[in-house]
């Protein structure tokens, strides 16, 4: 699956929260344009270079109304982005944990437990919080389109001239963005290198200083000719700061999108053979309200394990072909058995295979509970594997409980 396909399924899981967050950030950023327009009118009124459309009291009232509108939209953001991130994070963690619990207990993780914790915590957090940066880019794009339209109507030549350094920065960003994925795939220790790339955001932000200088140089002639006012200059400088923020955020989102792609790949490896779609499969996460009751089967003395037998038991690790072979034993309740051997001789492997934490390559394990003494030939809990079956974890079948004819109960 592509990175955008993972995100699309997460958006569909929490469509309301995502949509409200997007509306909130777009509305807030569009209202950020109001101070620039009002500043233009104010300086034109002071200088008399252009007819004043509003009086001072009207300008103050409009400025206050715009601030209230921005406040309303900004309040929506923490109410929605936190809910979206933690709800989707719960979904991803639930799906990964469910797959791990489906795997044999001793082979549940493809790597160390510390690496799994990193994927459960760091990869999910970085991936989901990047969604908020995507919304910021959408909102800044709307601001930039409307702002450039206003600036072009005032003076198209100056507008195009000040956009040149910003356009060059975007090109440079696209050139070096491919390195991010290489750093990320190499190791999580390369985060410092990726963060170093994100330091280019300071270059994006400082581009506004270059743009302001160009405005001063190009506007001098227009001001003397009366085609460019002090109010126009104030509006250009104000909007240029936001447009440069758009280019900075665009570079950051490029980096985070590639980081997210690597993070999704790392999370998919925990699925170990399950389709990538299962990582973002929709299901209940129970973020609010009471948790569902978990049924617990009642137990009594008849549920006590009485005897466990192994016949021809074998297991070999696919990586090294080492393991155990031809194990025959019988353990009864109340007996005391000592298992000894050198380090690496297979003691732990034998116990894990007996417990079903590792799937047997050959042989069988028979368990009998207190209710079926003596052990019948059809005792439940038998796991069999063909001795000729390849030693591959993808070909092994987990033990399947069978009905015990002696006690007529499935264990």
Query: What's the pLDDT band for 27 if we cut at 50, 70, 90?
Result: very high
Could you tell me if 14 and 88 are in contact, meaning their C-beta atoms sit under 8 angstroms apart? yes
**Among candidates 300, 298, 311, 315, which has minimal Cα distance to 379?**
311
* Structure confidence by residue, pLDDT tens digits, 241-278: 888 788 778 778 888 888 899 899 999 988 888 899 99
Could you tell me if 231 and 44 are in contact, meaning their C-beta atoms sit under 8 angstroms apart? yes
- What pLDDT shows up at residue 256? 86
Could you tell me if 381 and 366 are in contact, meaning their C-beta atoms sit under 8 angstroms apart? yes
Looking at domain 3-280, its CATH class is mainly alpha
Mean pLDDT of 320-343: 88
Mean pLDDT of 303-312: 85
367 has which bridge partners? 308
Query: What's the pLDDT band for 182 if we cut at 50, 70, 90?
Result: low
* Structure confidence by residue, pLDDT tens digits, 83-120: 999 999 999 999 999 998 888 776 778 777 888 888 89
The answer, yes or no, to whether residue 145 has pLDDT greater than 60, is: yes
Could you tell me if 248 and 204 are in contact, meaning their C-beta atoms sit under 8 angstroms apart? yes
Mean pLDDT of 277-297: 89
The answer, yes or no, to whether residue 78 has pLDDT greater than 80, is: yes
> What DSSP character marks residue 373?
P
> What DSSP character marks residue 356?
T
45 has which bridge partners? none
- What pLDDT shows up at residue 391? 34
Query: What's the pLDDT band for 12 if we cut at 50, 70, 90?
Result: very high
- What pLDDT shows up at residue 157? 81
Query: What's the pLDDT band for 169 if we cut at 50, 70, 90?
Result: low
Instruction: Mark residue 400 as left, alpha or beta (left: phi above 0; alpha: psi -120 to 50; beta: remaining).
Output: beta
Alpha helices in 155-277 (DSSP H): 156-176, 178-186, 191-198, 201-225, 230-269
Arithmetic mean of pLDDT over the chain:
78
User: What are the structural domain ranges in the chain?
Assistant: 3-280, 301-410
DSSP character string of 266-296: HHHHTTTTS-GGGGG-------SSPPPPPP-
**Among candidates 267, 126, 277, which has minimal Cα distance to 198?**
126
Integer Cα distance of 181 and 117 in angstroms: 21
The secondary structure of the chain in percent helix, strand, coil, rounded to multiples of 5, reads 65, 10, 25
**Among candidates 311, 310, 303, 312, which has minimal Cα distance to 404?**
303
Name the burial class of residue 391, with classes exposed (0-12), middle (13-18) and buried (19+) by CB atoms within 10 angstroms of its CB: middle
């Amino acid at each position: 699956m592509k990175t955008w396909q993972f995100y699309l399924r997460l958006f569909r899981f929490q469509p309301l929260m995502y949509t409200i967050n997007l509306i909130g950030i777009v509305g807030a950023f569009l209202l950020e344009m109001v101070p620039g327009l009002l500043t233009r009118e104010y300086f034109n009124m002071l200088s008399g270079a252009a007819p004043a459309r509003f009086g001072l009291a009207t300008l103050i009232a409009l400025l206050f109304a715009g601030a209230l509108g921005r406040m309303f939209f900004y309040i929506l953001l923490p109410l929605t982005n936190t809910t979206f991130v933690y709800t989707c994070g719960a979904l991803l963690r639930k799906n990964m944990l469910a797959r791990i619990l489906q795997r044999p207990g001793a082979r549940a993780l493809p790597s160390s437990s510390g690496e799994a914790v990193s994927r459960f915590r760091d990869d999910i957090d970085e991936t989901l919080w990047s969604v908020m940066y995507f919304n910021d880019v959408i909102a800044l794009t709307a601001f930039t389109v409307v702002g450039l339209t206003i600036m072009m109507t005032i003076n198209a030549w100056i507008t195009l001239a000040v956009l040149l350094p910003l356009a060059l920065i975007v090109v440079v960003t696209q050139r070096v963005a491919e390195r991010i994925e290489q750093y990320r795939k190499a190791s999580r220790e390369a985060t410092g290198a990726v963060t170093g790339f994100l330091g280019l955001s300071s270059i994006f932000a400082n581009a506004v200083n270059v743009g302001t200088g160009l405005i001063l140089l190009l506007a001098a002639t227009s001001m003397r000719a009366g085609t460019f006012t002090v109010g126009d200059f104030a509006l250009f400088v104000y909007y240029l700061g936001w447009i440069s923020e758009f280019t900075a955020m665009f570079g950051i989102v490029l980096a985070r999108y590639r980081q997210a792609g690597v993070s999704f790949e790392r999370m998919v490896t925990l699925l170990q053979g399950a389709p990538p779609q299962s990582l973002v499969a929709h299901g209940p996460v129970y973020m609010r309200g009471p948790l569902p009751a978990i049924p617990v089967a009642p137990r009594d003395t008849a549920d006590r394990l009485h005897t466990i037998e192994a016949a021809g038991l074998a297991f070999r690790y696919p990586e090294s072909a080492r393991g155990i072979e031809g194990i025959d034993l019988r353990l009864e309740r109340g007996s005391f058995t000592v298992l000894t051997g050198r380090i690496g001789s297979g003691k732990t492997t034998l116990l894990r295979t007996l417990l079903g934490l590792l799937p047997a390559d050959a042989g069988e394990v028979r368990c009998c509970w207190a209710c079926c003494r003596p052990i019948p030939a059809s005792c439940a809990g038998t796991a069999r594997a063909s001795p000729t079956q390849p030693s591959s974890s993808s070909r092994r079948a987990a033990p399947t409980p069978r009905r015990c004819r002696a006690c007529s109960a499935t264990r």
